Amino acid sequence: MLQPTILLLKEGTDSSQGKSQIISNINACQVVVDIVRTTLGPRGMDKLIHEGSDVTITNDGATVMKLLNVVHPAAKIMVDIAKAQDEEVGDGTTSVVLLAGELLKEAKVFIEDGLHPQIVSRGFRKASQVALNKLEDIQINLSDKTNDEKRDLLQKCAETTLNSKLVSGYKKFFSTMVVDAVMTLDEDLDKDMIGLKKVTGGSVTDSLLVKGVAFKKTFSYAGFEQQPKRFEHPKILLLNLELELKAEKDNAEIRINSPEDYQAIIDAEWHIIYEKLECIVKSGAKVVLSRLPIGDLATQYFADRDVFCAGRVEEQDVRRTQRATGAAVQTTVHNLTPDVLGTCGEFEEIQIGSERYNLFKECPGTKSATIILRGGAQQFVDEAERSLHDAIMIVRRAIKSNCVVGGGGAIEMELSRYLREYSRSISGKQQLVINAYAKALECIPKALAANSGLDAIDLLNKLRQKHAQAKPETRWFGVDCLGGGICDTYESYIWEPSLVKKNAIASATEAACLILSIDETVRNPRSEINNQALPGPGPRGPPMMGRGGMMPGRGRGVRAFRGRGGR
């Protein structure tokens, strides 16, 4: 007897499941990995991403992944781990994507041979834990170093990060600046207290560090040039208040019977604004900043009384000024007390390139620093900002963790060797999976060698031979991307905080296991257009690249592409 057909899902719903779906997801992730693979290392290539009128040139993994606009549901996980790595430690974004992709590539062979995905995931998690434990044992703790030695360490870590960036030719200049900026901060090392400002024009070496708060001069009215531009130990008032004559609100209605009534209304408005300005001057404040506009009347009033003012200051700059100077943001100017006013050692306004900047130096509150970047093209300055962000994050993490490991793929090769030996003590299928994990770790030195134009196979064989000796003096051998060949990365000062590697290994393993656990994808129709036959590969076809980036066969980008060319 035939069983009746049961319609469970909405008509037009597409469902893909089983082994083919897992392999399809792995293939989609491999496309993402292939895009960013060439950006790894000091000899890595840059990506030019053109979107509308915006042009971005970068080799930062997290930036590339974000600008690709990946819409494939499984491949989006690779974007997420790159973003998480960037927010957590600031560097290693390309490495974490490469490692996750290589783990999936190794897992694909097992899946095709019929091994259950959960067995593979269990083996990967076991190998990850063993690798992290080994990393804890061999990392170099620098807590007993002197202050000068620690500073030298931090500069080497910053230089290693900047090696692969567009500003690598100025790595000594910028690494010193980054370390000075981070060392200026308080013990909590709040990254928000380091400002990065960009001024196009001039040479890269014209960039400067201000130990305090600096921001670009805001829009100002006539009378601003008559105000003093330098103070020593001024009182600073921060406002969230408008200081200008405002038009009446919409739909306001005032009934008057004589011209004298109208004049009384005008006089009341002027009386209110003058009362506010008098309260500010009587408070003793010499520098007045407001998030909201300060009009031409107030500007001239302050100029006549030797008070500096700036309106429409960005909220982030106000917040940094508040914490650095000790001032409290006020929403009224009545009953101002001395404790709500901040101060600094020196305030001045200077010309930097074509812009004027307000500088607050020698602040008594929370320590702050501002790096003002100079350079030619806007794209260069933007990439320099991203590079210094990574370096700042790395220096902060190095200070907090006090532990480093050798870069250049050295730590990956040492962990790979250890896992191969460990796998021989395991029986069953897990031995194969852990051995595959060890092989996947070699993708980092392999990519470094390939991107440097070196023979990757030859270098990997040399590194395996060195690490096979299992001696302390050989465990830090890695790829010498600049000199060509292999070198002791620790002796060559190619150092990275161990936290970067820990986070990358853990994130890549979790991402790989998550993708392997997905055996079915259900796509619900979102509109009638989805139910129409679309040209090209079907819903189970390979990932497509359209205007929106990488996508499955039925995505918004495909419909947009079809609509544009349908004419």
pLDDT the model gives residue 16? 62
Pairing of strands 477-479, 486-488: antiparallel
Whichever domain contains 82, its CATH number is 1.10.560.10
Q: Which is higher by pLDDT, 309 or 257?
A: 309
349 and 265 in a single domain? The answer is: yes
Given pLDDT bands bounded at 50, 70 and 90, which one contains residue 539? very low
**pLDDT tens-digit readout, 500-529:** 899 999 999 999 999 998 887 776 666 344
| Domain-located, residue 543 | no
Q: What is the pLDDT of residues 150-176, one digit of tens each?
A: 888 888 888 888 887 888 888 889 999
Q: Provide the 10 A C-beta neighbour count for residue 485.
A: 13
Active site residue: 56, 58, 63, 94, which one?
A: 94
533 found inside a domain: no
Report d(CA 521, CA 14) in Å as an integer: 8
pLDDT per residue as tens digits for the range 243-255: 887 655 555 677 7
In this predicted structure, what is the pLDDT of residue 217?
85
Work out whether the CA dihedral 384, 390, 393, 399 comes out positive or negative: negative
Q: What is the mean pLDDT of residues 312-341?
A: 88
Residue 89 sits in the same domain as residue 234:
no
Q: What does the pLDDT read at residue 21?
A: 84
Which residue among 60, 86, 382, 480 is the active-site one? 60
* Percentage of the chain exceeding pLDDT 70: 88
Mean pLDDT of 217-224: 80
Q: What is the CATH number of the domain that holds 183?
A: 3.30.260.10
Q: How far is CA 550 from the centre of its chain?
A: 22
Residue written as tokens 């300005």? 277
CB 316 within 8 A of CB 326: no
Mean pLDDT of 538-566: 41
pLDDT computed for residue 249 by the predictor = 55
Domain shared by 225 and 331, yes or no: yes
**What average pLDDT does the structure give for the chain?**
83
- 474 in catalytic set: no
User: Quick one: average pLDDT of 283-293?
Assistant: 90
**Does 429 reside within a domain?**
yes
Does residue 385 share a domain with residue 305? Answer: no
Instruction: Identify the pLDDT of residue 135.
Output: 92
Q: Indicate if the alpha-carbon torsion angle 168, 96, 36, 79 is positive or negative.
A: negative
60 is annotated as an active-site residue: yes
Whole-number Å distance between alpha carbons of 256 and 2 = 88
Same domain assignment for residues 230 and 334:
yes
- Asked whether residue 360 falls in the same domain as residue 381, the answer is no
Mean pLDDT of 59-85: 87
Please identify, among 341, 367, 393, the residue that sits at the C-terminal boundary of a domain. 367
Which of the four pLDDT bands, split at 50, 70 and 90, describes residue 3? low
For residue 342, give the CATH number of its domain.
Answer: 3.50.7.10
Kindly report the three-state secondary structure assignment for every residue of 6-50: CCCCCCCCEEEECHHHHHHHHHHHHHHHHHHHHHCCCCCCCEEEE
Same domain as 434, residue 493:
yes
Pairing of strands 194-200, 369-375: parallel
Q: Model confidence at 270, in pLDDT bands (50, 70, 90)?
A: confident
Is the dihedral angle over the CA atoms 167, 168, 169, 175 positive or is it negative?
Answer: positive
Among this protein's residues, is 390 annotated catalytic?
A: yes
Tell me whether residue 436 is in a domain: yes
| Predicted pLDDT at 418 | 93
The tens digit of pLDDT for each residue in 449-506 reads 999 888 999 999 999 999 998 888 888 999 988 888 889 888 888 888 888 899 999 9
CB-based contacts of 154: which residues, under 8 Å, 6+ apart? 179, 182, 183, 395, 398, 399
Please tell me the total count of domains within the chain.
3
Q: What is the pLDDT of residues 73-123, one digit of tens each?
A: 888 899 999 888 888 887 888 999 999 999 999 999 999 998 999 999 999
Residue 482 has a pLDDT of 81
Q: 380 and 363 in one domain?
A: no
Give the domain range for residue 418: 14-141+406-521
The reply to whether 354 and 498 lie within a common domain is: no
Q: What is the pLDDT of residue 2?
A: 61
pLDDT(530) > 50: no
| Per annotation, catalytic residue among 91, 382, 390, 488 | 390
Domain assignment present for 73: yes
Tell me, yes or no, whether 207 and 220 share the same domain: no
pLDDT digits (tens, 9 = 90+) for 421-443: 999 998 888 899 999 999 999 99
- Pick the last residue of a domain from 521, 537, 552: 521
- Does the residue 532 lie in any domain? no
Element (H, E) at 406: strand 403-406
Whether residue 478 is found in the same domain as residue 385: no
